[in-house]
Structure 1
Amino acid sequence: MSLKKSIIIIILILLVDQISKFYIKTHFALGDEYRVFQWFRVYFVENDGMAWGTKISDFVSFISDRTAKIALTVFRIVAIFGIGYWLFDATKKNSPKVLLLAIAFIFAGALGNIIDSVFYGLLFSDSHGQIATFLPAEGGYDGLLHGRVVDMLYFPLWKGFLPEWLPFFGGKFFTFFEPVFNVADMAISTGFMMLLVFNKKAFSKKSD
């Protein structure tokens, strides 16, 4: 697969990701929910940390949330350059198609969330209790590098109380699948799953 085809895939994923996020930001207030099916809902939340809303400051107490946010965003930007070089190098070496697809998915997903983190604080007004405005006259809800990632895909496939005989979690209310995510997250997860499932094919001797 050529680098040009990889770039086309990246652009398509980015377009779907950013269009869906733009729509949610300009049509939903934070916490609004639209039920498509019982097991699939559009539920608007924002995430200013890592996976599942985790923050660096949760682990390193002496770092403020804002400093941790900048550190995380800068790390993501550095990482995206590394992933981009990995894709370029893999293409140059005529690596297996599955490897190039996986890298392209991971790159697109990472870049999609970086756009939120870097620019959304400048581009949108706050979504708390109101529908956000794009390019508000009074300015965005925060500065550069302080944007929050927009999540909206929610699949509560099952909700209920777990059996009492289960150790540690018995009798507790449980939701599967509870995390709320976005198209970029799906792309990253798909890329990593491809690398895991097709590991031998992706990293065959041809790609060395």
Structure 2
Amino acid sequence: MSLKKATLFIIIILIIDQISKFYIKTNFILGEEVKVFDWFRILFVENEGMAWGAKIPGEYGKLTLTLFRLVAICGIGYWLWDSVRKKNSRILVISVALIFAGAFGNIIDSVFYGLIFNDSHNQIASFLPEAGTYGSLFHGKVVDMLYFPLWSGYLPEWIPIWGGQYFTFFEPVFNIADSAITIGVILLIIFNKKAFPKEEKKSENI
């Protein structure tokens, strides 16, 4: 895959990701939920931290996380460029492009959303509001909305530690960008041998 095709692929993912986030942010109140199926719902949540809602504690935790993401995206971008330059396998280029697009999509939220939207608590947020925004540069919140509660119920008592507790599978709420990262990583795991082919060892002359 050429760099031009990989770039177009990334742009398409970014557009879909940002349109979905923009729609949710400007049409849903934080915590609002729409049931599509029993196992799939649109649920608006905002993530201030990393995956699974984890946060870096401290006054500068959010800033540190965003700056780390910016450094990481530079590394992923170089990996993509280098993979194309070396004419590595198509599956590797596609996987890295997915990871890059997903990481970049969430970085847009973290860097800019605090500057362009107001708060979503008990109200529908406005784009570029006159009354002020909810954050500052590098302090935006990532918009999540895809929720797949495939099963909910009480676990059997015989299960260690969690037995008898109410459990939901799959509980995390995520977005298109997260999906792109996950798919990219899964492709690298499944097609590991194609993505990272080992050079055939040359037989030594006796």
Q: When the two structures are superposed, what TM-score results if normalisation uses the length of structure 1?
A: 0.94
How far off is 1:139 after superposition? 2.2
The equivalent residue for 1:37 is 37
Task: Report 1:12-23 matches (<5 A).
Answer: 12-23=12-23
**d(CA) in 1 for partners of 2:83, 2:126:** 41
1:161 to 136, 154, 159: 154
**d(CA) in 2 for partners of 1:117, 1:11:** 18
Identical pairs, percent: 64
1:94 equivalent in alignment to 2:48: no
The equivalent residue for 1:60 is none
Unaligned segments of structure 1, at least 5 residues: 58-62
Task: Report SS of the residue matched to 2:118.
Answer: coil
Unaligned segments of structure 2, at least 5 residues: 200-206
The equivalent residue for 2:106 is 113
The equivalent residue for 1:143 is 136
**d(CA) in 1 for partners of 2:18, 2:38:** 26
Letter in 1 for 2:10: I
Task: Report SS of the residue matched to 1:35.
Answer: strand
The equivalent residue for 2:78 is 85
The equivalent residue for 1:179 is 172
**d(CA) in 2 for partners of 1:5, 1:83:** 17
1:6 equivalent in alignment to 2:18: no
**d(CA) in 2 for partners of 1:166, 1:125:** 45
Aligned-CA RMSD value: 0.8
Q: When the two structures are superposed, what TM-score results if normalisation uses the length of structure 2?
A: 0.95
Task: Report SS of the residue matched to 2:35.
Answer: strand
How far off is 1:140 after superposition? 1.1
How far off is 1:72 after superposition? 0.3
**d(CA) in 1 for partners of 2:198, 2:88:** 9
1:90-116 Cα offsets, whole Å, 9 max, x none, are 000000000000000000000000000
Aligned length: 199
Task: Report SS of the residue matched to 2:123.
Answer: coil
Larger CA Rg, structure 1 vs 2: 2
**d(CA) in 1 for partners of 2:167, 2:198:** 45
The equivalent residue for 1:198 is 191
Task: Report SS of the residue matched to 1:56.
Answer: coil
How far off is 1:56 after superposition? 1.4
